[in-house]
Each structure stands twice: as structure tokens, then as C-alpha cells.
Amino acid sequence: MNETTCPQCGGQLDASRWPTAFRVCPYCQSTLERTEESLKALGKVAHVQPDLSPIQIGTTGSFKGKAFDVLGRIRRAWEDGSWNEWYIEFTDGTEAWLSESQGEYHVTVAVENEEWQAFDREDWQPGGSLTAGKTSFLVTDRRETWVEAAEGMLPYRPETEKSIQVDLVSNEGAFLSLEFEGEELYIYQGFHLPFDELNFKNLRELDGWKF
């Protein structure tokens, strides 16, 4: 079957490609969890309000010679604004996030690092420095964030609880984004890329102009 229905509103959903555990219904904004036995509605998230991003679900691109598809989006907010986190999947099945904020783009992938888990988190304040292995990092930002809205396919359920996000850069240009949710720490290694180097296709048209 290439179609299924939302258990909350009955809307028709394309099931021909559904590689993730979670999906936001485009009709009623319910978060849907897909299991082997059933499709469950887990509550609703806000609709992503229109913005000036040229990216949309269905946009394609490439990173380091690997093609990817844009499958979903989380709109993450903080006290002074918000930005887009696009969920992308590469053709080899690898997943990543494409962060888009004020014309800056970062591709980030989740990594495991026990050394980072052991650091005192209160030391991670802007202007501070940390050394992991042979690499020194400067803390450039620390902010309280939350999920404001979401759409499309996602690797996890979009939660609205607040978390702490810390950004760090090394002298060599390596980028790390750390996210604290309660006692849990999630580590993302990032790469900054200019817009043109991501080789986007199927972008949105804005005011009659296509990127």
C-alpha cells in the first residue's frame, strides 16, 4: 500500500517512503508514531509559520559528494528568535541535520563521546575554552531553546520542553553543538558550508524569484 490514513483526522498520507519512526500529519498537526503493529497519534505540534527560507520538504542537495533529501523540519526557538533545523537523509541511509539561521548553514551529525559527557556542564559558558583529546574549543554561545513547531518526517518525537544548547568552535574550524535535555547530553558535530556548496535543487519560489 502506498497510502495510509492519519488515526486522528483520517487524512490520506503517502506511505510509499516513510523511513523514520515519527511524522507530523500535514492536515491536523498530530505527531504520528509508526510501529510494526499500528500508527499512533501522540499529540499535536504547532504548524510551521511561513518564512523566507528557500528550503522545503522535498528539496535535495549534496554534502561531501553525497546526495541527500530534505524530509522534515523542526522550528527551534529561543528568547530572541528562532531558526530552522531540517532533517535530511543521505542516499546511503545516513541521517543528519541541516541548520539554517540568518543565511548560515551547518550540516551536523550525532556523535558519541564519553569524554564530553564527563565535563562539568556549568563550565560551558560563552568565552570559556575546553580541550577534548588534542583539540581545543571555544564556547561561542549558550542558550535555552525549545521546539516551536514541526513538519514532515522526523527521527524522534518533537518535544516542546526547554533544553540548553551550547555551540563551540575549534581553531581548525570544527563545530560542535551540544544539547542538554535534563540529564541527557546529545552531541552533534557540524560543518559550516556556503549555500552554493550544498548544490540544492527543488527550492521554493519566493515572490516570483527562484533560488
**What pLDDT is recorded for position 211?**
45
Q: Could you tell me the three cell numbers for 83?
A: 531558526
Give me the residues of the chain with pLDDT under 70, please: 1-3, 117-118, 207-211
In whole angstroms, give the CA distance from residue 124 to residue 130: 8
**What pLDDT is recorded for position 208?**
55
**What pLDDT is recorded for position 195?**
92
In sequence order, the 6+-apart residues with CB closer than 8 A to the CB of 172 are 135
Beta strands 22-24; 129-132: pairing state: unpaired
In whole angstroms, give the CA distance from residue 150 to residue 158: 7
Partnered with residue 115 across adjacent β-strands are none
Answer yes or no: are the C-beta atoms of 137 and 129 closer than 8 Å: yes
**What pLDDT is recorded for position 107?**
92
Q: What are the tens digits of pLDDT across the range 38-89?
A: 788 988 999 998 888 999 999 999 988 899 999 999 999 999 899 999 999 9
Partnered with residue 153 across adjacent β-strands are 23
**What pLDDT is recorded for position 209?**
53
Around Cβ 107, how many Cβ atoms within 10 Å?
A: 22
